[in-house]
Structures are given as C-alpha cells and as structure tokens.
Amino acid sequence: MPRIAIVQRPPTFLNKAETTATAVTSVREAAGAGAQLVVFPETFIPGYPAWIWRLRPGGDMTLSERLHSLLLANSVCVDGDDLTPLREAAKQNKVTVVCGINERDTDFSRSTIYNSVVVIGPDGTILNRHRKLMPTNPERMVWGFGDASGLRVIETPCGRIGTLICWENYMPLARCAIYAQGVDIYIAPTYDTGERWIATMQHIAREGGCWVIGSGSAFQARHIPDAVPGKAELYPNADDWINAGDSVVVAPGGKIVAGPLHNELGILYADIDVELVGVARRSLDTVGHYSRPDIFQLHVNTEPLKPVVFNALPGSDRS
C-alpha cells in the first residue's frame, strides 16, 4: 500500500529559491518516513497571493502592482531550470511529487502567470503540467486562464493520479473528465478550507469512487516576510492564522482516514489501498455502468493554447 504525504507548511512568500529549498527538504523528510507520493498545496512556489483578498479594488493599485511584480519575478518557468532541485529530490528519493506553482508563461508574452500544478515522477521527469482552468474571483487579476492540455490522469507507481486545483473541483464537467480516465488518486491542491470544503472532498470520493487528497495551505501572518510590501498594513497581527490548511485524505466512498490538519503545520501521512477503488465502483461507477452514454456525452478540447501570430500587411511600416 503506498504511503501518501501531504506537506502543510508555509512557503517563503515571493522567494522562489527559498521555497523550492523548503520543498526539497520536505520531500526528503517524507521519503524518510516511507512516503511514495508527496503532495504540496496550491501555488506553493512561491506562495499563494493571499493579499488579493485584502487589497481594496482600485484603492491599493500601487501596492498591488508591486506585489504582482515580485510574484512574476519569482514564478516558475517549467521548461527552464527552476524545478531542477525538486526534480532531483524526487529522483534521489524515488518518490512521485505533486506541487502547485505560480507558472510564468514562456510561450506568449512572458508576462502572464498561471496557477499550475506539476506531477514529477520518481525518475525526475515532469509527467504532467495542468493550468487552472478558471481562476476564482480576484484571482483573475493574477492568473491567466488555463487549457485542458494537462487535464490528464497519469500512471505512477502509486496508482493513476489526476489533479484539479481548488474551485475547479466545483466544476462537474472537469471532475467528469478526470473520472473518465480511470483516476485512482484524485489530488486537490487548494487554498480553500473549512467544513464545506472537506465535505466536497468527501463528495468527490463518493462520486468518483477514488481516493481524494486535499492539500491545503496553512500559515500565520508571522510566516509572511517583513520585506513583503504591505505586510504591516495587511497582516498586523503575527499570531493570526491567515489560512487554516485542513489537509485531508478521504477513502473511496467518503470516509476521512487522515486529517483534517487544522491551524497546524507539518506533514500529514496516510497509507492507502488502491484496490478499494474497484470495490467502491461496484455499486456506483459514474463513468462506467452508471454513466448512461446513450444520453450523456462529454467532449473536452485538449488542444494547448497557441501564441498569436502577427502578420504585417504588405507595405505597412511593420512589414
């Protein structure tokens, strides 16, 4: 039975190198405890831009621009060397790693950030990169819209892994796209917390007949470096829990087997039995015998976004 480790620790906000180092250390620790799959929260590198929920629309534009500039500078280029330390850690420790990142676009203007999650295999290979399809509310001022090219379930030594990020898990068709690919371990990196979110994780485990890993973000105001612009105004009380975490592991059918880890930092472990997936789907297989394909069909456009091609008109000053 594979052992799952959910890392619920704060990043070094807006510092890509230090946060990546934290991830590497956590991978080594989890592997030392016997984990074969190590999961990090939504946009762990270099941190979730929590300030978007406290800034005033319009009134804090200068501060918002400063914060966004730092976030862009510390976002991850997936096709560069930014993830090399984490990939090496996965390879050296022979574990699969799922990590949320702020991803810097390298195909278009190099100025768009995506809320992404990468799956790194135990040989250090990036097996998949999924970009959040629909940023939520003020998140749309931070991240671009993803496509479905990474909406895939990946075969790993731990089982078949699929990921949806935060409120993507409230999108029924996105969930169905993951279910339809035979997911065993459904991973939900998130910034959401609380009873309703945990209930959603239980619902998905019941609906999909799969293991569900809810990987939450937890940190106090003290974990935001003083050098972060606006820290003193936005987070004056060092003891405040800005986000509670609530990482949780749910078995097929909906029973919580580990967590939720609430207002606490650490690594949450669980040993899972992938064989229980088939047992759970005996009575309810929403993309199998319970699916009614004669009535319902789902079509997913998995083509990646393509850059705009500029063609100057003949005789123009840009031809």
Q: What pLDDT does residue 306 have?
A: 78
pLDDT digits (tens, 9 = 90+) for 88-119: 999 999 999 999 999 999 887 889 999 999 99
Q: Using the predicted structure, report yes or no on whether residue 316 has a pLDDT greater than 60.
A: no
Q: Half-sphere exposure of 244 toward its Cβ, with a 13 Å CA cutoff?
A: 12
316 or 125, greater pLDDT: 125
Where residue 253 falls (left for φ over 0; alpha for ψ -120 to 50; beta otherwise) is left
The mean-pLDDT minimum among 18-27, 85-94, 296-305 falls in 296-305
Residue 171 CA from chain centroid, whole number: 15
Measured CA to CA, the distance from residue 131 to residue 143 in angstroms comes to: 10
Please give the pLDDT value at position 274.
96
pLDDT score for 113: 97
- Please classify residue 275 by burial: count the beta carbons closer than 10 Å to its beta carbon, then call 0-12 exposed, 13-18 middle and 19+ buried: exposed
Q: Is 82 left (phi over 0), alpha (psi -120 to 50) or beta?
A: alpha
Closest CA to 101 of 81, 122, 74, 80: 74
pLDDT at 319: 44
Question: By the 8 A CB rule, do 242 and 219 touch?
Answer: yes
Confidence of residue 312 (pLDDT cuts 50, 70, 90): low
Q: Which residue reads 């895939």 in tokens?
A: 152
Helix (H, G, I), strand (E, B) or coil at 242: strand
Answer whether residue 317 shows pLDDT above 70.
no
For the segment 72-90, the average pLDDT, to the nearest whole number, is 96
Percent of the chain with pLDDT over 90: 90
Q: What angle do CA 16, 13, 163 make, to 5 degrees?
A: 75
Task: Confirm if 180 and 298 have CB atoms less than 8 A apart.
Answer: yes
Beta bridge partners of 160: 155
Check residue 13 and report its DSSP letter.
T
Q: How many helices (H) and strands (E) does the chain have?
A: 7, 13
Per-residue tokens: 192: 């959401």
Q: How confident is the model at residue 305 (pLDDT cuts 50, 70, 90)?
A: confident
Model pLDDT, residue 61? 84
Write out the H or E segment, with its range, that includes residue 73.
helix 61-73
Average pLDDT over residues 124-150: 95
pTM across the whole model: 0.94
For the cut 70, the answer to whether the pLDDT of residue 17 exceeds it is: yes
pLDDT (average), residues 51-66? 86
Share of the chain above pLDDT 70, in %: 96
User: How far is the C-alpha of 26 from the C-alpha of 104, rounded, in Å?
Assistant: 24
Cβ contacts of residue 257 below 8 Å, gap of 6+? 249, 250, 251, 270, 272
**Choice among 104-113, 155-164, 210-219, 237-246 with the minimum mean pLDDT:** 104-113
pLDDT at 35: 98
Query: Which is it for the CA torsion 220, 224, 226, 232, positive or negative?
Result: negative
Q: What is the pLDDT of residue 189?
A: 98
Residues identified as active-site: 42, 132, 166
Domain 3-280 indexed as CATH 3.60.110.10: yes
pLDDT band at 311 (very low <50, low <70, confident <90, very high): low
Give the pLDDT of residue 60: 81
